[in-house]
Structure 1
Amino acid sequence: MKVALVHDWLVTMGGAERVLETLAHMYPDAPIYTGVLDRSRLSPYLQQRTIYSTFVQRLPRAKRWYNRYLPLLMYGFEQFDLSRYDLVISSSAAIAKGVLTRAETVHVSYIHTPMRYAWDLYHDYHNREAKGLTRRLMGPVFHYVRLWDRLSADRADVLVANSHTVQQRIRKHYRRSAEVVFPPVNIDRFQPAPHPGDYYLVLSRLVAYKRVDLAIEAANALGIKLVVAGDGPERERLARLASRHVEFVGAVDDEKASALMTGAKGLIFPGEEDFGIVPVEMQAAGRPVIAYGQGGVKDTVIDGKTGVFFDRQEIDAVIAAIRRAETITWDSQAIRQHTEQFRPAVFETRMAQIIQTALDGR
């Protein structure tokens, strides 16, 4: 059986790329098709794989501006000739699901989310972040993007969602059903320490929708120590908000991130994510998560047992959640045990079952 893997773009190693890496281990001979490739930013395993990119790869600054080339990428994915494959597995948060396959080919698409900047967050991006010509062009361009995105979702035979939140978005925007398979998380990177440290942690890209400002303002008000790990366009603004209790350590590698999680009292997670691997990793380190109770954390955090939810993205709600977390005696081993369901082996078993059912149905 000939198998191909498809992924939106390969310019960093985030959670979606970890999913692709696990799929690549499941199908070691399968080539990978992607929009834009920066091989130097990938894991050693993915660097060794056969990877094909679209013509957008040759356009100016494509490795940085790939989002700006979205309409061209849509066209580029349709030009991939996948006619010789029996099985195509796409990993899609944007356009990978839009490849064209033969009627006899089984296409299973793992959906990280319908494009949030085209659907749920369109008005946030348009009104708050887009400027100048970009803002003026967003209306007509994204009208086309939404039409293409909806039609492309029908090209896959089976859709798989990474969380129940994404499952609901798929039902809303694509009018299709999807099974839920949680992404793989390498929980063995973490071993719970016997005693927590003296600081809370934020580990995130510093962009507006992550709402890191709420964690900083809450730390300021409570006078508690907060370590902010990560970088992004919001860093200067956030640094101006911070009191002396807040420390910015910049972008960190996996080893440093693991050490920060293991040594923290807990993770503050004030944004809404489709799934959110960092909260799972924090729990694998035996530490609780203080999170805005929407999105993927509803699948990954148990309120009162492995973390605490707050129901509004407001400073007083975050403060109340931190105070509540301070009153709970946390069982680090029980928190860790909760993350066993997110092991890569569980992901591989569930995906293999879904794929085999789709092949049998052919």
Structure 2
Amino acid sequence: MLEDQTARPDGMSPHIPAQPAAEAPRPHTWPEGYPDGYAVVDVETTGLARDDRIVSAAVYRLDAHGEVEDHWYTPVNPQRDPGPTWIHGLTSEALADAPLFPEIADDFAARLRGRVLVAHNAIFDWSMIAREYARAQLEAPVRQRLCTIALSKELALPLPNHKLESLAAHYGVVQQQAHHALDDARVLAEAFRPSLHLAASQEVRLPLLACQPLSEWSDAVVPRGGGGAPGGGGMSGSYGRSWRPSRKRPACPYPNPGRYEPEGRLVQGMRVAISGDTSVDRDLLEDRAIEAGLHIATSVSRLTSLLVTNDPDSPTSKVVKARSFGTPVIDEAAFSQLLQDVAPAPER
């Protein structure tokens, strides 16, 4: 069931021919600090929720200058309804004999190791990959990711929107089979190369973000509404939602004591916001904070006591607001230490 085209210099499947892309001028000198290699990734999934599964995965390995080294593709048996078959085309019958994720985890990891993961809306692909590895009690060997949407914004490309087809059209890359993981990865690889050259020629700082592998996992099933039968055309309840649905939590019983004082203790009632990837599954980390008497906030305001993030330099809305409000920012490791000794709420 696995397809490995390592021997092919163009990295293409015989059934999906490469298309010429408009190239940006290659810079005379390459910026120091740019990565040594990239893994352009696309995964198709059963849906967008935190309990959804990968049904196919593809990787194009690129060298430091964005040239294709090889590619790899595999379907994956999700051990459940494959979800939106009208999108990815993979039915229960087609996936019945496909390998399970733990069976392809090592091959997948070998193509990711030592490289920057590149994807279109990379937080989604990375989150799905990290969760699959956590379920398999393994760790994905990825330490940085690069989102091509963020890179397009850094380069101020004149795109009508940030869809993959718009980026492909800008560089003259022709899509052969949309929402097939292998072809989507090919298209992205061909569009990423000229973007990378353009960034290098302008000495643009690449929007690299840290990837925090999950060390704990809670596979709470998200309720699905009115689902269609396996392989049918009914809309999957999770598809079209955020991949990480919000959970209704009880109100914090303690008043907000104000901002966290650096080097001090957390105090029950403090409002804590979390941004970006966490090494402990986000819901577990939030549950620990709530059990300690803290208030988990979904956004950052002037009342926020503390922001927890492993990417303090990322331009997310929470980080930007925290900086503008002067809200203290710490990483997950420091927050986990502070959770071990939370001060009781002051008497009213």
Flag the structure with larger Rg: 2
More helix by share: 1
**TM-score for the superposition, normalised by structure 2:** 0.28
